[in-house]
A and B are shown apart, each in its own frame.
Chain A
């Protein structure tokens, strides 16, 4: 037995080291079971049992082309929102790593303050900004351009959702970027890489774990969005959550609503499983200081 291994009397203590973290997570586990596990189980059961046991709700969903169109649109809009968030968040998060602590605080506040404003209020302000006689279109017209239709279009929905979800992309990106050793860029330059080449071969690959983490969070949150598409979108930009709401609250078809939820969940899992090999990083150390 090596000197580092604990001796026999401390064996119970070792067991404690294993169980104590579990004991500490017990409240969180119970909460998750209560608010996620149980409702999820109910949804699956009701989708299979209402009005009677069988697959009739799923047959209905896949039998109606409009449902499939909306499902596809839900994923398309979420993908666009994710893309817009990556493009906007990447330079912002990089700036947060490059500035001093005071400016960084301001930048963090700019990300977080919209969080503290109710989602409905934020979405309604987007209505004012985006509508045909709104701020954006008036500015365009006064600059001599034709107005563009933003409200009740997919573009409007994507803009509004991206704004709401941006912090979920910025924060994971920032936490990965602040761990990247900038001296590696200097090393790349000494080896002959011009700054843009050093960025694409060294910085970008090292920041990808943050991009992936942010993209997964934003994408999944976007799939379930309800208020923003309902207020900013039109009939051609309905997302699945609106259909669920119609089925459950207007038509009281709990089984159909449940089936749509299960389809969304399963499709999401399948997409993530397909994306996993790409996202799995091949290196263990991410250039931490």
Chain B
């Protein structure tokens, strides 16, 4: 984190924030601390509460209960226009009757900034998003990516200590999105402002964020760096939402130090146990699984038989989907240098029990994703 960040970004504290619409709880006791200057992404499927959280911070939505502090001060009941928070919307929300320059000058005019300084700051903000040559154009004359860059300039031109972004790249195509992600990252580094970014795209979250808060059904499932979420998911939902994964379900038997799981007649084990959980599942990342022809020597301690159901060439490697005996699907990342397999081949999957994560089963984790 850049040293200026400590001075310029605002900390945010959400303390058991709830928002109910009738009997529906859009937010159910959300607590989250965002550090000054941090890039925090709120990640989750639609309807999980991430956008509601953003709207609560921005002041567009009142909380039903709970505390909300921005920069150490409670902002509950403070209207949006007094919060001094920059917001970038998915739909750009540029004023169509104003030029790009007047759009960006708008928050400065409201704050009574003198014309000379206003001009200089508008130019600086537009240069930062590389739109300096477009000040006299109208929004309708710009592409979606250009409009969103102008919207970003407008949201940072008044130096807010906090910038909220609500799926800002959602309407753009993949190449443009990837380029703008890097631009946003660069701008975050240069400004040192606290960024709160809402997305449902886990790859985008991993590219951008210092930390990610994973939302599900109005609650936060886990907060952590991308790596923590991938390597040590706290719940099955997080494990399934971040990256590809294989979930093994079966009859579990646990002794003092290890857990054995019987999946359609084949038993695999992991050298740990889950306290107080009678039916744990095993979660395996695609690169932790190896594929062998039946009867070949295996490296891992565990084996499961299956059939190749899909082979996907990814350029840097291959991805195989393997149908297991219990009809569930395992996903395997496989190097191009390794042996290649064809559809319908009978194979065995091998893995080291230490690589398997034991997690409490959660039947909602599968349905929420679709």
Contacts and interface: CB of A to CB of B under 8 A. Distances in A.
A188 interface: yes
Nearest to A198: B81
Interface stretch (B21-29, B106-114, B184-192, B247-255): B106-114
B351 interface: no
Interface stretch (A33-41, A50-58, A78-86, A199-207): A199-207
A242 interface: no
A152 B140 CA distance: 52
A117 interface: no
B58 interface: yes
Contacts of B58: 190
B81 A184 contact: no
A197 interface: yes
B140 A184 contact: no
A181 B110 contact: no
B97 interface: yes
A189 interface: yes
Interface stretch (A64-72, A221-229, A280-288): A280-288
> Chain B CB within 10 Å — which of A190, A191, A194, A285 has the most?
A191
Chain A: interface residue count, which band? 20 to 34
B138 A283 contact: yes
A191 B98 CA distance: 15
B37 interface: no
A183 B89 contact: yes
Nearest to B92: A187
Chain B: interface residue count, which band? 20 to 34
A187 B110 contact: no
Interface in B60-108: 60, 79-87, 89, 91, 93, 95-98, 106-107
A285 B103 CA distance: 15
B138 A189 contact: no
Nearest to A183: B93
A205 B97 contact: yes
Given A197-B110, A282-B97, A283-B140, A192 B87 contact: no
Given A183-B89, A284-B138, A285-B139, A190 B95 contact: no
A287 B96 contact: yes
Contacts of A192: 81-82, 84, 107, 110-111, 158
A191 B107 contact: yes
B154 interface: yes
Contact of B96 (A188, A189, A197, A285): A285
B158 A191 contact: yes
A116 B59 CA distance: 47
A234 to B, nearest CB: 45
> Chain A CB within 10 Å — which of B81, B82, B155 has the most?
B81
Given A191-B86, A283-B138, 20 more contacts: A181-B91, A181-B93, A183-B91, A186-B80, A188-B106, A189-B59, A189-B60, A189-B81, A190-B58, A191-B81, A191-B154, A191-B158, A192-B82, A192-B84, A192-B107, A192-B111, A193-B110, A198-B81, A201-B106, A285-B96
